[in-house]
Structure 1
C-alpha cells in the first residue's frame, strides 16, 4: 500500500534572502504535520534565487539526510510561451495540483507570492504567510 506524500507548496519573493526563515518554516510544517514515515514533496516555482532557491536547497539536503523520503517538485514559469503572465499561470498550476500546506514568503508586497497565497487559501489549502 502506497502512502500519500505530504505536499508542501513554497512560494516567495525572488529577493527573499533569509534562507534560515524558509528552512525553519519548512521543517516546522513537516515536523508538525507529517509522521516520520510519510514522504515529503516540496513544490516550488524553480526561481534560481530567493525563497524558491532556499526551498530547493532544503529539499536537496533533506533528501540526502535519509530520515524520510523528500522530493523536490520544481515548476518553472514558461516566460517564452506565456510572457508576463507566466509566473501567475505557473502559480495557479502549482495550487491546482494540490498541497497540504502553503508557505508564502512575501517581501516588499510581492505580487506573485501574494497571488499564490491567495489562490491557495481560496482552494482550502492552509497557508502560512511570512513577511519582510
Structure 2
C-alpha cells in the first residue's frame, strides 16, 4: 500500500531571500505530515522562494527525512513567443493538483505569489503567508 504524500505547495517572490523562514516553514510541514512522506511542490523559479524551498527540501532528504520535490516550470515561450500569462497559468495548475498546505512567501506584494495564495485559499487549501 502506497501512502499518499503530504503535498506542500510553495509559492513566493523571485527576490525572497529569507532562507531561515522557508526552512522553518518546511520543517513545520514535515512535523504536520506525521508519518506521511512530504512532497514540496513549487514553480521551479531559479531564484527566490522556489530555489530556497527546493534546496532546503533536498537538504532535508539528504539528512534522511522523507521529503521529495516536484517542480512545475512555466512555459514562458510556447512556440517561441514570450507569454506573460505563463506563470499565472502554471500557478493555477499547481493549485488544481491539490495540496495539504500552501506556504506563501510574499515580498514587495509579488503578484504571482499573491495570486497563487489566493487561488489556494479559494480551493480550500490551508494557506500560511509570510510577507516582507
Normalised by the length of structure 1, the TM-score is: 0.94
Q: Is there any run of 5+ residues in structure 1 with no aligned partner, and where?
A: none
Deviations 1:43-62 (A, max 9, x none): 00100110000000011111
Tell me, yes or no, if the aligned pair for 2:23 and 2:56 is still in contact at 8 Å.
yes
Question: 1:50 — aligned with what?
Answer: 48
Whether the 8 Å contact between 2:104 and 2:129 is mirrored in structure 1 is: yes
Q: How many residues align?
A: 129
The aligned runs of 1:94-105 (5 Å cut-off) are 94-105=94-105
Q: Which runs of 5+ in 2 are unaligned?
A: none
Match of 2:69 among 48, 60, 72: 72
User: What's the RMSD between the two structures over aligned residues?
Assistant: 1.0
Task: Give the 5 Å matches for 1:102-117.
Answer: 102-117=102-117
TM-score calculated relative to the size of structure 2: 0.94
Structure 1 runs (4+) deviating above 3 angstroms are none
How far apart, CA to CA, are the structure 1 residues paired with 2:29 and 2:38? Answer: 11
Tell me the equivalent position of 1:22: 22
